Structure formats: C-alpha cells, structure tokens
C-alpha cells in the first residue's frame, strides 16, 4: 500500500481538550505614508531601513509610519487639518469616529522619521525648508516631537502652520498577522513629497534611506538584496504601474471601498505562505490554523493529507482537470486516534488514491458515504468496500451515461437520515440540482457541511440536463439557509466559511445569469427563435470561449427552468421568450 504523506495537526478546534495558547495580541492603530516623487523612470518611493536593534521589522526597508498617539486626535491638531474633518476622514476609513487621527499620525510619523512635514505656511504654500535657518529650526522641532517633548500641534502653533491633510490619499488597510507578538492595525496613505524639503532618516529608528522605483525595489527584493515585509511588497505592486506621481494620487483617490487585509500564515508544499482575503484557501487557513503557526499545512495537492479538525481529514485524488479543479476531495470523518471512521466521496478508481485512503483509514473504516454518483466521486467505492467490508450509503445512480452505474448502496438514505460515526453524527441533506441523487452531509458537532458538487470553491457548478435541474438547484441552495452551517467542505477546492453569505452569492449569480438569458432571448427574438449556440455566445460573453461547450449545458438548464416558469418556449431546438 502507498503510505500517505505525513501531516501536521492543526491548532485545536471543535471540542479538543488540549490546552489553548493565549489569544493573539490586540493590534494597535497605526498609520503609514507612502511618499512619492517623480523621476525620469517614473515615480520613486521613499523607503527607510529600520535599525537592526529594533524588536519589530528589524533591518527591513519600510515606508515612514508608526502608531497613532493620543495627541493625534487632540482638538488643537484637528483644527489645523485642511480640507478634512473627522467625519469625512472616518467615513473614508469606514470608522464610526477617529479617522482624522490616522491622517495626522501619518504626517507626524513622516516628520519624525524622514524629516518631511506636510504643512501649509500662512501664505498658503507648502512648507519651504530650503533656507538653512528654517531647516535647522525644524530639525529641532522634529527631535522634540520624536522625544515627546513637544506635540505636532505645538509646532504648528509656533510656526503658524496648517496640516496638508488634503494632499493625502487613502490607499489600503493592513492588519499584522495573528501570530506576531507586536501587531498593528495600519492605514496606508499616499502623498507627493513636499517641494523644497529633503528627506533624512532619523538615525534612531532608521539607519538609512532609499529613493527607488517600485519595480526596482521589487526586483531587488526578489534577488534577496532588499528586505521587504509582505505589506510593503504588496503596496509596491499596487503603485508600480503608474507613470507619474499625479497619476498615482488620482488612481488611489478613485479607489472604492477598501477592505482590511489580514494576511494569514499557512504552509503549502513545504513553503510558508501569507495569503489574503479572497485568495484561494484563505477561509481554510483561518479554520485549520487559528493561531497562524508556520507549521500547520493546508493543501489541495493530490496525495497530501490536510487535517481540517480533530474529526476531519482530507485527501485529494490525483484527477485534476477543468471540471475537477485540483482533484476530487475525499474526507475521512471520525476521531483520528480511535473509534470508527466514515469516508465521504472515495473519488475515482485510481489505484494510488485507493491505496492511500486505505492506509489512512486503517482497519477502522465502517461507512462509505457518497454525495452523488458522477464518475469523479463514487467509482472507488467498490475497491474500498471489497478491502474493508464497510457499509455503503447514498442514493442509487440515475440512468444516465454520466453516472457511475457500478455504485450500489447498502443503505439508501433520504433527507434527514443520520449515521453515528465514532461519537459524531452525519446527517443527510438532499440537495438535488447538480444531480438528482445529490446528498450533502452535515457534521452536526462541527456544523460542517460536506457539499460535494452542490457548492464548490473557486467555481460555479455545471447544471447538465436531463438529470441536472436549475429549478431544483436554486431551491436546494435556498434550503441551506435554514441550516446552521459554520463552514462548507466542498468536493473540489478548499474549505469555505461564511456559508450563508456564500449561498446568497450563488443564488444572486444564478439569477443574474437567468436575467441575461431572458435579455438574450428578447434581443435575438425572431419568428424561428434562437439556437443554443447563438444564446451561449451572448449570455456567456464574459466566459472564455473554450468553456462555452460546458456553459451550454447550464444555459440549457436555465432555459428549461424558464420554460417551467412559463417565461420561455422551445420549438425544434430553438428558443423564444414567452410573454406573460
């Protein structure tokens, strides 16, 4: 037999009695300013190299920035902010209040760390520090502010300055990973370097400075010549394509809602990665690795086991493809150390996969459960049953060529039927639509739903008539909203959280596609009607043409639903709208 790859158990969840580590540090509010200047090769950014003696990001090149102080929200400094008040700043940062303090902190920290002060003189122009006396006087102000002997408001009062908060654009929102001892909730801003001012590192927190184009900085980082932290890299990538500083500022100001970016640490293929919200596997990384440990694995690589919880392990079959993504997910359910086990979706009858599942389950496999009988989910049942004698549970295959006719269940389950697995409970949830015999399996103790092909991560499900039914599919999706689901483990791809929101998005997407079908029927309406080929080109214009043959099946399912709803009619293979 093939021995599965070694796995690392995730941090405790779902009922483990292991001692729990202390919770993550509470992130401190902070602000960072990306200072730009034009050059013949495009905008350059100011990077400061942090002292190697610091306990946070030692030696890294960073943008000027730091924590928000109480003085940053004082009324006397707020009164000196030009073109921005707290209400407007808070709205831009999606805060109830206190947003202006982040803008002030970005200016103050840049003054302390780089000697640049975004302020207006009484005449209305930006502060000019070219005269040597001015430069000397403001250098003393700078050190006094850094040492907390003077506030920025006091400097502004002494010099009759207003803060140029109107020249700062809000770029992004980053939160330090939960595994870090020091954490910051940081707002990133962008501004042009003030004319007639020269940057100079402070020789306290920073030991050198560098003006460099974003592309050059990224190239140096990739060669190991420049130490950059993850948010700095991503920020440089965001602004690398702008031709001028003004273009960058206009582009940043035009950004819509800005969502917080909380990188999550996970190990994949022996590499430690930091992934962001919206990227594949982010939900799963949070689920299996709540502490952000660099030792916890999350994989969809065929043959590699991922421990999703104390009760659930996943092994991906080696059948990657356009319809299967990285491969079919097979799940072992039950306590990893003792007791009976159940196997959900053994997958295709590939010898190496069957051997790996048998090695992982050992002699404790008692049940084999299938979500449905498409050829990538159930054919391995026969070999595993023969090797273990496990009881097979599911629904018989419909009489179609895309169904595994070798699948013969020992027990035919209906909606709501339960099976006890080593002290846990799996409940059948009948979800016809993708297939008429489709069952999701609900792990009651973890509120985890094994969704098979009813809901997949990273792609929508193909609904292929005659067994696929769009009306039934939408009804099955809606029915899940009454089930208390914490997470969904799909037949392909990574685990997903925020289940009800994911379901609502799918329903919205399908109804949006249905509206496109109705519009296309109207636009292509002729006495003869429109062909499926003509409709698919119009309805799926946003889909790569190579996928149109597959999209054609779901289009047919939409049309059959519309016909059922008396909104469309078919005659000799052509479709027309049916007016109410």
Q: Residue 118 and residue 81: Cα distance in Å, rounded? A: 11
**Residue 284: partners with Cβ closer than 8 Å, 6 or more residues away:** 266, 298, 306, 308, 494, 495, 496
**300-497 has the same fold as 28-258:** no
Q: How far is the CA of 111 from the CAs of 13, 126, 272, 310, 349, in angstroms?
A: 46, 14, 36, 51, 66
Q: What are phi and psi of 521, to 5 degrees?
A: -60, -40
Alpha helix segments (H runs only) across 310-377: 351-361
* Cβ pair 370, 397 in contact under 8 A: no
Q: How many CB atoms lie within 10 A of CB 73?
A: 19
**Digitized pLDDT (tens) for each residue of the chain, 580 residues in all:** 333 333 333 444 534 444 455 678 999 999 999 999 999 999 999 999 988 877 667 789 999 999 999 999 999 999 999 999 999 999 999 999 999 999 999 999 999 999 999 999 999 999 998 877 777 899 999 999 999 999 999 999 999 999 999 999 999 999 999 998 899 999 999 999 999 999 998 888 889 999 999 999 999 999 999 999 999 999 999 999 999 999 999 999 999 889 999 999 999 988 999 999 999 999 999 999 999 999 999 999 999 999 999 999 999 999 999 889 999 999 999 987 878 999 999 999 999 999 999 999 988 999 999 999 999 999 999 999 999 999 999 999 999 999 999 999 999 999 999 999 988 999 999 999 999 999 999 999 999 999 999 999 988 899 999 999 999 999 999 999 999 999 999 999 999 999 999 999 999 999 999 999 999 999 998 888 999 999 999 999 999 999 999 999 999 999 999 999 999 999 999 999 987 5
Q: What are phi and psi of 166, to 5 degrees?
A: -75, -10
Q: Which helix (H) or strand (E) holds 272?
A: strand 271-275
Quick one: 28-258 is in which CATH superfamily? Nucleoside Triphosphate Pyrophosphohydrolase (3.90.79.10)
Q: Give domain 507-577's CATH number out of 1.20.1070, 3.30.2420, 1.10.10, 2.30.29.
A: 1.10.10
Determine the CATH number of domain 300-497. 3.60.15.10
Q: Residue 157 and residue 79: Cα distance in Å, rounded? A: 11
Task: Note the pTM of the prediction, 2 decimals.
Answer: 0.86
**Hey, where are the domains in the chain?**
28-258, 300-497, 507-577
């Amino acid at each position: 037999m093939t021995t599965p790859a070694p796995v690392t158990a995730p941090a405790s969840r779902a009922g483990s009695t292991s001692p729990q580590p202390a919770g993550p540090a509470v992130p401190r509010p902070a602000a960072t300013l990306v200072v730009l200047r034009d050059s013949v090769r495009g905008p350059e950014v100011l990077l400061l190299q942090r002292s190697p003696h610091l306990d946070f990001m030692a030696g890294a090149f960073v943008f000027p920035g730091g924590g928000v102080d109480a003085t940053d929200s004082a009324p006397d400094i707020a009164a000196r902010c030009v073109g921005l008040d707290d209400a407007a700043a808070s709205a831009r940062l999606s805060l109830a209040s206190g947003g202006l303090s982040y803008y002030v902190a970005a200016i103050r920290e840049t003054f302390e760390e780089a000697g640049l002060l975004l302020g207006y003189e009484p005449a209305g122009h930006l502060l000019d520090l070219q005269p040597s006396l001015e430069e000397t006087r403001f250098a003393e102000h700078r050190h006094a502010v850094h040492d907390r002997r003077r506030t920025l408001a006091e400097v502004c009062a002494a010099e009759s300055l207003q803060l140029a908060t109107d020249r700062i654009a809000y770029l992004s929102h980053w939160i330090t990973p939960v595994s870090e001892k020091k954490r910051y909730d940081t707002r990133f801003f962008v501004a042009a370097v003030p004319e007639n001012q020269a940057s100079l590192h402070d020789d306290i927190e920073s030991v050198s400075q560098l003006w460099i184009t974003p592309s050059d900085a990224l190239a140096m980082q990739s060669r190991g010549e420049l130490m950059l932290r993850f948010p700095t890299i991503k920020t440089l990538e965001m602004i690398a394509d702008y031709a001028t500083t003004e273009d960058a500022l206009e582009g940043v100001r035009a950004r819509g809602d800005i969502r917080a970016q909380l990188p999550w640490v996970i190990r994949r293929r022996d590499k430690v990665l930091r992934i962001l919200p919206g990227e594949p596997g982010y939900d799963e990384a949070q689920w299996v690795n709540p502490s952000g440990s660099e030792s916890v694995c999350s994989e969809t690589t065929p043959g590699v086991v991922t421990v999703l919880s104390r009760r659930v392990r996943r092994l991906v079959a080696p059948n990657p493809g356009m319809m299967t993504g990285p491969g079919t997910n097979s799940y072992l359910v039950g306590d990893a150390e003792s007791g009976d086990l159940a196997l959900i979706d053994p997958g295709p009858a590939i010898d190496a996969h069957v051997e790996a599942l048998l090695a992982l389950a050992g002699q404790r496999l008692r049940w084999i459960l299938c979500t449905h009988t498409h050829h990538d989910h159930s054919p391995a049942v026969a070999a595993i049953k023969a090797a273990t004698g496990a009881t097979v549970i599911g629904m018989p295959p419909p009489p179609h060529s895309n169904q595994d006719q070798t699948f013969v269940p020992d027990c035919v389950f209906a909606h709501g039927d339960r099976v006890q697995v080593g002290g846990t409970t799996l409940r059948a949830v009948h979800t016809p639509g993708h297939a008429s015999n489709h069952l999701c399996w609900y792990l009651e103790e973890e509120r985890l739903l094994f969704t098979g092909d009813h809901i997949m991560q990273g792609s929508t499900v193909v609904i292929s008539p005659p067994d696929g039914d769009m009306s039934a599919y939408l009804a099955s999706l809606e029915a899940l909203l009454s089930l208390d689901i914490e997470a969904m483990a799909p037949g392909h791809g990574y685990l997903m959280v925020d289940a009800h929101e994911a379901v609502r998005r799918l329903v919205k997407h399908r109804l949006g596609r249905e509206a496109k079908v109705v519009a296309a029927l109207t636009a292509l309406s002729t006495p003869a009607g429109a062909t499926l080929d003509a409709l698919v080109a119009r309805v799926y214009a946003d889909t790569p043409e190579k996928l149109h043959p597959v999209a054609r099946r779901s289009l047919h399912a939409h049309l059959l639903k519309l016909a059922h709803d008396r909104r469309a009619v078919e005659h000799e293979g052509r479709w027309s709208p049916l007016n109410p």
